[in-house]
Structure 1
Amino acid sequence: MSAPFATAGHPATPVAIPSALAILVLALLLSIQPVTTDLYLPALPALTRSLGSSVSVAQLTLSGLLLAFGCSQLVWGPLSDRFGRRPILLAGLSIYTVASIGSALAPNMSLLILWRVAQGAAMGSVVMCARAIVRDLYTPLEGARAMSKALTGLGIVACVCAPLGGLLAEWLGWRASLSALTVYAVATLTLVALRLPETLVHRNPRALQPRTLVATWLQVLRTPTFWAFSLQTTATYGGLFSFLASSSFVFIDVLGLSRTQYGGAMASVCVAYFAGTFLCRRLLARFGLKRSVAIAGGLSLAGGTLMALVAFLGWHHPVALLLPFALFMLAHGVHQPCGQSGAVGPFPQAAGVASALNGFMMMLAAFGIGAWLGLRLDGTVWPLVNGIWFWSLVLAVISWTLVQKFGDPVERA
C-alpha cells in the first residue's frame, strides 16, 4: 500500500494500516451494499406473497432503502470530514445491525419497508466512509487500483450472496435471508472496532458550519471532473440496478427459474463483475484512467445492445439474456473503481462530501428506476431489457465524451 500523500500545506502523517488489512476492510465495507440487496432478492417474490403485498409496494423495500442510502450520505459525508471516519463507521454499523434484526422480524410490509429504510440510511455511512478512506490513503490513480482490489473482494461476496439467499429462502423462508444480514453486520462491526484506526489525518473543524458546508458543496459541484465521473458511476449503476430490481420477477415469475436457480444466475453475473475488477487493473496499468473508461464504455454498449437484440429475436431464455449482461457487468468492474476514485480525486480535504454527493446521485437514479420498474413490470422481459439497454447507451456516451474531456483530476484544497 502506498503511504498517504501530503496535500498542499498539510504534510500527512502515515497511517499505520497494513495493505492487506486495508483492502480487507474496504472490501467488507463496500460489500455491505450487495449483501443488503442480493441476499434478499431471491426471496422478494415470496415475501411479497407472504405479506400480502403488491409488486409495486414490495419494490419499496429496495428502492426506499436505496433512496435512504443516497440521501443519508449527504449527512454522513460532512460528519466524517468533521469527526473522522472511524466514529461514523461504528455508528452506522451499529444502527445497521439493529435495523437488520427489525427487518427479519417485521410482521407486515409497512414495517419491513421502514426497517429497510433505516438499513439504507445506516449503510450510507459505511459505503461513503469506504470511498473517503480510499482518498485518505491513496492518490487518484493508486486509489483506482486499490478500489479495484477491494471490489474484487466485493465480487467474491456478491457471488456467494445470491446463491446463499436463494438456498436460505428455499430451505428456511424469506426471513432467514434477511437474518443473514445481521451476521454480516456484526462481523464487520467487530473488525472495524478492533482493527481499523482513524484514516483522516486532518479533520475539518468547520466542516459542519453552514457557510463552510455550502461552500464545499458548491466547490465539488462546480468541478467538471466530479460530474464526469459521477455521471459515469451513476449510469453504470443504473444498468446494474435495472437488473437487480427486476431480475427476480423476470427470471422466477416469467422465465420459470426456482429461487435456487435464480441464485445461481445471480452468481454468474457476479463472476463477470469479479473478472471485470481484474481487467480494470490490467487496463489501468497499460492505458491509464481515461482510456480504460473509454474501453469499458464500448463493452457496456455491446452488452446492452446484444441483450436487446436477443430479446427482439425472441430468445427469451435465461442463458440468452445472461450472456450479454455478463459483458455489461465485465465493464461495470472497470467503471466503478475508476469512477468512484475519480469523483473524489480532486478533493483530498473534502473527500467525505464528494463521496456523499457521488453516492447520492447514484441512489437518486436507483430510486427513480425502482419506481419506474414497479409500474412497468408486466410479465415480460422487456422492462429489464429496455432498462439495461438505455443505461448502456448513456454510459457509452459519458465514457467517450465527458470523461475524456474532464477526466484528469486536479487536486483542490
Structure 2
Amino acid sequence: MHSATKPTTKPFLIALLMILTLLGVFPLDVVLPSFPALAEHFQTSTVDIARSISLFAIGFSCSLLWIGPLSDRIGRKKLLLASMTVAIVGAIGCITANNYSQFLLFRVVQAVGCGGFVLSQALVQDMFVGKEQERLRIAIVTAGGIFISISPLVGAWLQTHWGWQASFYVFTAFAILLLFMTYRLLSDTQPAVHPSRHTILKGYAQIFADRHFVSYATISGITFACHFSFIVISPIIFMDQLGLSPYQYSQVLLLYGAAYVLGGVSAGWLNKRLLANTQIATGLWLIATSGGVMLLLAYGNDISTWTVLIPMLICTAGTTITRPISNSRAMNLFPHSAGAAASATTVVIFIAGGLISALISTLTHNLSTTLGLCFLILSALGLGLNEWAKHRPHVL
C-alpha cells in the first residue's frame, strides 16, 4: 500500500534509506581489515573469522523470515525500532566478548537485529511509485557499493587508531541515529494485527509458489553471491596470501567501489533504454565474462592483486546492473505484501551468498580458479532463469 509522501519529507526519507543501506553493509565490510587482529585476539585463524561473516549472513537471513511479514501487519516503524535495539545489543556484546564462541553468539544477535534493514525495500515500495522505485533502488545499490568501498578504509583507520572494537562502537552510534530518525519520520499505517505462524507460512507459500518471483529472486541471489563471495575471501587473498597491510587492502577495495558507481550509472542509463529482461541479461553476461577472465589470468600466472581485481571489477559492474532490476521485478509481483516479498527476496539473496561464500572460503589454495568457475556456473543459471521468465509472462 502506497502512502502519500510529502515532497518536503522526501529528502529526509531518502537519507533514512541511505543510512539503512550503510548499516546494511557496515557490519560486514568494516571488520574486513581487522581479520588478522580478530584472529589474534580470539586465538583463531583468519579462515575462521571469514566463516563468521558467512554465519552472520545466514543468521541475518533467518531473522528476515519474520520481520517482513510482521511489518505488513504491525507496521514498519515498530519493527525497525525493535530490530535496531537488538542489533545494538549484539554489537555491544561483540565488544565485551571474552572468547571466540561468545563473539560468534553476539554476531548472530547483531545479525538478527540487522534483519530490519530489509525494510528499506518495503519502504521504497510503500512510499514511491513506478520508475521512481527503480531509480531509487539503483541509487541504493550504487550507494551500497560506495559504502562497501569506503567501509574497509574506515575500518583500517579505526583498526590502526583504536583496534577492532572501534567498528562496533561506530555501528552502535549510527544505529542510535537511525532509531531517532525512524521515530521522528515514519508513521505506521498498517493495522495492529498480530499474525499467526500459520498466516505467515501461508503468505510465504503463496509468494514462493509464483515461479516468476522465484526466478527473479534467484537471479538477484546469484549476483549477490558473486559479490559476497569475493568480499568474504578478499582478506584471505590480499592480506594472508599477498601480504598487503590493512590500509593497502582497503585502498584496493576503493577501486571495487568505483566499479559499483560505474555499474550504478550504467544501470540508470540502461534502465531508460532497455527492457528489464535485456538489462538483467546484460549484467549476467558481464559476470560470465569476469569468470572467464579470472580463469585466463589465473592459468599459468602467479596470483597478484590485478589478476584478482580486474575480473572482480567486471563482475561488480554486472552485479550492479542486474540486481536492482531483478529485485524490482520480484517485488512488483506482490505490491500488497511488500514486507513479506522483501523478506523472501532478501532471504534468497543472503542464503545464497552465505552458503556459496562458506564453500569457497574452505578452498583457500585455489581461490581464483574457484571464483572464476563459480561466476561462470552462476551466471549461466541466471541467464537460463531470465530466458524462462521472459518467454513465460506472469499472469495476474
TM-score, normalised with respect to structure 2:
0.92
2:348 aligned with 1:403: no
Residue from 57, 63, 66 that aligns with 2:54: 63
- 1:362-381 to 2 correspondence within 5 Å? 362-378=349-365
Residue from 295, 314, 326 that aligns with 1:308: 295
CA shift for structure 1 position 202: 4.7
CA shift for structure 1 position 307: 1.5
Give the residue type in structure 2 aligned to 1:146. Answer: L
- Indicate the larger mover: 25-34 or 73-82: 25-34
Equivalent in the alignment of 1:115? 106
Residue from 249, 252, 265 that aligns with 1:265: 252
Q: Is the 8 A contact 2:63 2:112 kept in 1?
A: yes
- Indicate the larger mover: 132-141 or 239-248: 132-141
CA shift for structure 1 position 264: 0.9
- 1: CA distance, partners of 2:130 / 2:104: 37
Q: Residues 290 and 97 of structure 1: is their aligned pair in 2 closer, same or farther, counting only changes over 3 Å?
A: same
Secondary structure at 1:287 match in 2: coil
Equivalent in the alignment of 1:4? none
Q: Residues 102 and 214 of structure 1: is their aligned pair in 2 closer, same or farther, counting only changes over 3 Å?
A: closer
Q: Residues 37 and 385 of structure 1: is their aligned pair in 2 closer, same or farther, counting only changes over 3 Å?
A: farther
- Indicate the larger mover: 185-194 or 68-77: 185-194
Equivalent in the alignment of 2:234? 247
Secondary structure at 2:229 match in 1: helix
Equivalent in the alignment of 2:167? 177
Q: Residues 409 and 22 of structure 1: is their aligned pair in 2 closer, same or farther, counting only changes over 3 Å?
A: farther
CA shift for structure 1 position 315: 4.4
Give the residue type in structure 1 aligned to 2:294. Answer: M
Q: Residues 211 and 111 of structure 1: is their aligned pair in 2 closer, same or farther, counting only changes over 3 Å?
A: closer
2:393 aligned with 1:393: no
Identity %: 25
- 1: CA distance, partners of 2:77 / 2:372: 36
Q: Is the 8 A contact 1:144 1:341 kept in 2?
A: yes
Equivalent in the alignment of 2:12? 21
CA shift for structure 1 position 141: 4.6
Q: Is the 8 A contact 1:345 1:410 kept in 2?
A: no
- Indicate the larger mover: 319-328 or 51-60: 51-60
Q: Residues 45 and 392 of structure 1: is their aligned pair in 2 closer, same or farther, counting only changes over 3 Å?
A: farther
Equivalent in the alignment of 1:144? 134
Q: Residues 111 and 388 of structure 1: is their aligned pair in 2 closer, same or farther, counting only changes over 3 Å?
A: farther
Equivalent in the alignment of 1:224? 211
Q: Is the 8 A contact 1:97 1:182 kept in 2?
A: yes
CA shift for structure 1 position 214: 2.8
Secondary structure at 1:157 match in 2: helix
CA shift for structure 1 position 154: 2.2
- 1:8-407 to 2 correspondence within 5 Å? 13-16=3-6, 18-126=9-117, 128-139=118-129, 141-198=131-188, 201-203=189-191, 205=193, 208-378=195-365, 382-398=366-382, 400-406=383-389
Q: Is the 8 A contact 1:24 1:153 kept in 2?
A: no
- 2: CA distance, partners of 1:234 / 1:325: 17
Q: Residues 191 and 13 of structure 1: is their aligned pair in 2 closer, same or farther, counting only changes over 3 Å?
A: closer
Give a deviation string over 1:361-405, Cα, whole Å, max 9, x none. 222223323432343223xxx22541354134322441x332244
CA shift for structure 1 position 64: 1.6
Give a deviation string over 1:296-336, Cα, whole Å, max 9, x none. 11111111211121111314210232122111111111122
Q: Is the 8 A contact 1:81 1:204 kept in 2?
A: no
Q: Is the 8 A contact 1:242 1:388 kept in 2?
A: no
CA shift for structure 1 position 147: 0.5
- 2: CA distance, partners of 1:95 / 1:343: 29
- 2: CA distance, partners of 1:270 / 1:392: 22
When the two chains are superposed, the root-mean-square deviation of aligned CA atoms in Å is 2.3
Q: Is the 8 A contact 2:125 2:335 kept in 1?
A: yes
Runs of at least 5 residues in structure 1 that lack an aligned partner in the other structure: 1-6
- 2: CA distance, partners of 1:409 / 1:97: 44
Secondary structure at 1:333 match in 2: helix
Give the residue type in structure 2 aligned to 1:137. Answer: M
- Indicate the larger mover: 241-250 or 97-106: 97-106
- 1: CA distance, partners of 2:302 / 2:318: 23
Q: Residues 90 and 384 of structure 1: is their aligned pair in 2 closer, same or farther, counting only changes over 3 Å?
A: farther
Q: Is the 8 A contact 1:230 1:340 kept in 2?
A: yes
Secondary structure at 1:350 match in 2: helix
Q: Is the 8 A contact 2:284 2:319 kept in 1?
A: no
Q: Is the 8 A contact 1:42 1:259 kept in 2?
A: yes
Give the residue type in structure 1 aligned to 2:29. Answer: D
Q: Is the 8 A contact 1:59 1:374 kept in 2?
A: yes
Q: Residues 135 and 204 of structure 1: is their aligned pair in 2 closer, same or farther, counting only changes over 3 Å?
A: farther
- 1: CA distance, partners of 2:385 / 2:129: 21
Q: Is the 8 A contact 2:56 2:111 kept in 1?
A: yes
Give a deviation string over 1:92-125, Cα, whole Å, max 9, x none. 1121122112212322111111111011111112
